[in-house]
């Protein structure tokens, strides 16, 4: 089993990345999609990367739930509280919002302003930490005849339609205004199939990204395929930070 695990790590090019991260202190704040990603990390590293749950500094990946879903402000506050609990003892730190933190009427500009303010404060408080930004995960947007019929009968757009557009607006702000800073583009990974084609949908003449259906069992969270894809990319991204 150990030999098989090592061969798999080597085949995917992860062996060196995992070895490097095993000696670093990486802190990750999240909720349910983040838990999917942590499961993916365990899937692809076969236990070669230490993974700890909590708010105590340790080599490897330390992760914890932060804030409450549907309350992005609570996640901003709790991420800072978690870092304070760690005493700033992390080499790399990041958290991610969840898809449920964004509603059709979310004030994207204000939330982004608050997000930037938090990171400016944290960078000043903990200058030795490399802070990573993560785009907001997407969901599958129902399409096809059944979705059209449901929309026609209910006179409402399917859930996730307007919400995905709002998530995309926030992600666009991150990509544009955080240029030059470490940015892990989770949304881009989620919306790109293994063959490189994009999963998209149309709204009011705009082509917008959505979660690849094959990466999810419920249209929202990551299944085994999705979580492994994201985990491999995340580990490589983190290991190659300066």
DSSP H or E segment with residue 92: strand 92-95
Structure tokens at 86: 């760690």
pTM: 0.91
Task: Please indicate whether residue 63 or residue 157 has the higher confidence score (pLDDT).
Answer: 63
Q: What local confidence, expressed as pLDDT, does residue 204 receive?
A: 84
Per-residue pLDDT tens digits for 74-120: 999 999 999 999 999 999 999 999 999 999 999 999 999 999 999 99
Per-residue pLDDT tens digits for 202-229: 888 899 999 999 999 999 999 999 999 9
Q: Average model confidence (pLDDT) for the chain?
A: 91
- The CA angle 226-56-189, to the nearest 5 degrees, is 20
Maximum distance among all Cα pairs of the chain, rounded to whole angstroms: 57
Lowest-confidence segment of 66-80, 155-169, 222-236 by average pLDDT:
155-169
Distance CA 20, CA 141 (A): 38
Q: What local confidence, expressed as pLDDT, does residue 142 receive?
A: 81
Lowest-confidence segment of 9-13, 61-65, 148-152, 177-181 by average pLDDT:
148-152
Helix ranges (H only) for 57-158 are: 72-85, 108-125, 145-154
Q: What local confidence, expressed as pLDDT, does residue 79 receive?
A: 98
Distance CA 51, CA 42 (A): 8
Structure tokens at 61: 């990946």
Per-residue pLDDT tens digits for 171-206: 999 999 999 999 999 999 999 999 999 999 888 889
Q: What local confidence, expressed as pLDDT, does residue 12 receive?
A: 63
Are the C-beta atoms of 238 and 230 separated by less than 8 Å?
no
* Phi, psi for 200 (deg, rounded to 5): -135, 170
3-state secondary structure 35-62: HHHHHHHHHHHCCCCCEEECCCCCCEEE
What domains can be seen in the chain, in order of their start residue? 2-239 (3.40.50.1110)
Per-residue pLDDT tens digits for 20-56: 999 999 999 999 999 999 999 999 999 999 999 999 9
């Amino acid at each position: 089993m150990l030999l098989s695990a090592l061969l798999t790590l080597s085949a995917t090019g992860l062996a060196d990345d995992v070895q490097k991260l095993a000696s670093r202190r990486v802190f990750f704040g999240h909720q349910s999609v983040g838990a999917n990603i942590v499961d993916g990390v365990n899937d692809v590293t076969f236990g070669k990367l230490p993974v700890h749950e909590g708010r105590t500094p340790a080599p490897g990946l330390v992760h914890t739930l932060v804030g409450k879903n549907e309350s992005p402000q609570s996640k901003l506050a709790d991420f800072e509280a978690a870092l304070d609990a760690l005493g700033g003892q992390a080499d790399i730190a990041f958290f991610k919002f969840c898809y449920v933190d964004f509603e059709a009427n979310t004030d994207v500009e204000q939330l982004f302003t608050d997000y930037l303010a938090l990171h400016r404060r944290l960078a000043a408080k903990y200058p030795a930490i490399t802070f990573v930004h993560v785009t907001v995960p997407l969901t599958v947007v129902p399409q096809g005849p059944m979705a059209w019929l449901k929309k026609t009968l209910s006179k409402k757009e399917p859930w996730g339609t307007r919400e995905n557009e709002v998530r995309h607006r926030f992600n666009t702000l991150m990509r544009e205004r955080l240029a030059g800073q470490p940015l892990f583009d989770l949304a881009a990974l989620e919306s790109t199939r293994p063959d490189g084609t994009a999963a998209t949908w149309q709204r009011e003449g705009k082509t917008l990204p959505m979660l690849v259906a094959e990466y999810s069992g419920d249209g929202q969270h990551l299944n085994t395929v999705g979580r492994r894809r994201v985990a491999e990319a995340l580990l490589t991204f983190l290991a190659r930070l300066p």
